């Protein structure tokens, strides 16, 4: 199928859903009791997505928010409430039926929020060519939409273009644990179901980084469907467009605390736990953001951490045998790759088979936010216990 055919089929599918009230595709987590206090029922009943726009929790009054694939406007209206009357929200959608509903309800929402005028506008366009100015947006949100775009790399480049330096995105989308085969890619119904256009998780992360984003990481992970052995996952991700470097670029030092024994960032910079690494201002600012802040010490003078230092964090597997049960771990950032203390090397977005002991380590409080776990076994596994010693048959 051509990109034009895919776009046309998806638009028509969502237009029919808007007209009929059909429930579409994906897992959601909206608090409708809260939203219906200011958003009309007409909008709520055609709200689709694979996760609430968690990025809105970070919005400050007065910011400008762009919603890619705004549909009937639910996320835009929630953003409107959060940015306040001095902020601005732009909804982008390619389906005229959705835009009509959103525009019709914008004045109602503004009145319900006590605003003198709506601070939301809805623009018709496609994610691959956004009708928005360069460097004009503080936050981009999107809810189960980018997987519907035929050329996702163009979408990622457009996201980077319109964000201000220092801006961020938080998007929920469907990804797969492996490439989607042609018989699904060319199934028009499954495009509308958020299946056919799902990228492998590694390609999705890679596309965002290739577009220029850094610190790309998981906010939330939810298993969705397994079709013909392919695991489809709902991931909510955040990443940053770093601010421009200042003329006086002061050198700082970053010391990895753990739990990873080794980590490589998007720029190829290698961090070994306990060893200070010189970094520039932009990298230091990134390491102070949410996904990194607890993992590093960022100091003006180099600080080394001994293994016995209480600021060092290492989580070792239990000294027992383990079992293979069909479990796979997908590292979800914020680094390009990391290693644990048992010698496993995790590359962001690529599934790695793990034993029961490693799965327990990755389920610990320190590791859990950085991984998504799936099980590929088609039936319960009666695994034999094996050795996990360096000379054993496990790792």
What confidence score (pLDDT) does residue 290 get?
85
What confidence score (pLDDT) does residue 48 get?
66
Q: What is the pLDDT of residues 37-53, one digit of tens each?
A: 999 999 988 876 665 66
What confidence score (pLDDT) does residue 121 get?
98
| Low pLDDT (below 50) residues in the chain | 2, 6, 10-12, 14-15, 17-20, 390-393
Q: What is the pLDDT of residues 253-269, one digit of tens each?
A: 999 999 999 999 999 99
What confidence score (pLDDT) does residue 18 get?
46
Measured CA to CA in angstroms, residue 395 lies from 178, 260, 324, 362, 390 at distances of 23, 17, 11, 15, 7
Sheet holding 262-264, edge to edge: 270-272, 262-264, 337-339, 345-347
What confidence score (pLDDT) does residue 390 get?
44
- Which residues on adjacent β-strands are paired with residue 277? 254
What confidence score (pLDDT) does residue 383 get?
66
What confidence score (pLDDT) does residue 250 get?
82
What confidence score (pLDDT) does residue 161 get?
98
Delimit the domains of the chain by residue range. Answer: 3-240, 327-375
What confidence score (pLDDT) does residue 45 get?
85
What confidence score (pLDDT) does residue 321 get?
86
Residues 6+ apart with CB under 8 A from 98: 14, 15, 18, 46, 70, 71, 72
The pTM of this model reads 0.89
What confidence score (pLDDT) does residue 15 get?
46
CATH number of 3-240: 3.40.50.150
Alpha carbons 33 and 52: distance in angstroms, whole number: 14
């Amino acid at each position: 199928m051509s990109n034009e055919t895919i776009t046309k089929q998806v638009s028509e599918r969502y237009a029919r859903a808007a007209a009929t009230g059909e429930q579409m595709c994906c897992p959601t987590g909206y608090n409708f009791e809260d939203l219906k206090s200011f958003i009309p029922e007409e909008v709520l009943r055609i709200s689709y997505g694979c996760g609430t726009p968690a990025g809105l929790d970070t919005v400050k009054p007065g910011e400008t928010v762009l919603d890619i694939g705004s549909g009937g406007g639910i996320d835009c209206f929630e953003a409107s409430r959060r940015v306040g009357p001095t902020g601005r929200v732009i909804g982008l959608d390619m389906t005229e039926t959705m835009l009509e509903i959103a525009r019709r309800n914008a004045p109602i929402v503004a009145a319900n929020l006590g605003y003198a005028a709506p601070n939301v506008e809805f623009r018709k366009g496609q994610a691959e060519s956004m009708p928005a100015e360069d460097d004009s947006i503080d936050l981009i949100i999107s809810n189960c939409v980018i997987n519907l775009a035929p050329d996702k790399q163009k979408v990622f480049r457009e996201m980077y273009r319109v964000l201000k330096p220092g801006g961020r995105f938080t998007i929920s989308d469907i990804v797969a644990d492996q490439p989607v085969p042609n018989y699904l890619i060319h199934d028009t119904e499954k495009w509308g179901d958020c299946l056919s256009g799902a990228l492998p998780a590694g390609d999705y992360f890679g596309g965002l980084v290739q577009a220029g984003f850094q610190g790309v990481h998981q906010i939330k992970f939810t298993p969705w469907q397994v079709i013909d052995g392919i695991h489809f996952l709902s991931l909510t991700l955040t990443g940053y467009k770093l601010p421009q470097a200042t003329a006086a670029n002061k050198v700082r030092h970053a010391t990895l605390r753990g739990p990873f024994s080794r980590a490589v960032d998007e720029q190829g910079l290698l961090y070994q736990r306990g060893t200070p690494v010189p970094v520039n201002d932009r990298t230091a600012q990134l390491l102070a953001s949410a996904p990194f802040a607890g993992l590093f010490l960022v100091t003006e003078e180099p600080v080394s951490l001994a293994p016995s230092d209480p600021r060092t964090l290492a989580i070792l597997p239990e000294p027992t045998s383990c079992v293979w049960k069909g479990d796979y771990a997908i590292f979800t950032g914020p680094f390009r790759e990391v290693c644990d203390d048992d010698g496993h090397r995790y590359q962001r977005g690529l599934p790695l088979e793990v034993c029961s002991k490693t799965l327990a380590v990755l389920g610990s409080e320190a590791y859990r936010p950085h991984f998504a776990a799936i099980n590929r076994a088609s039936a319960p596994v009666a695994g034999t216990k094996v050795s996990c010693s360096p000379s054993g048959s496990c790792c």
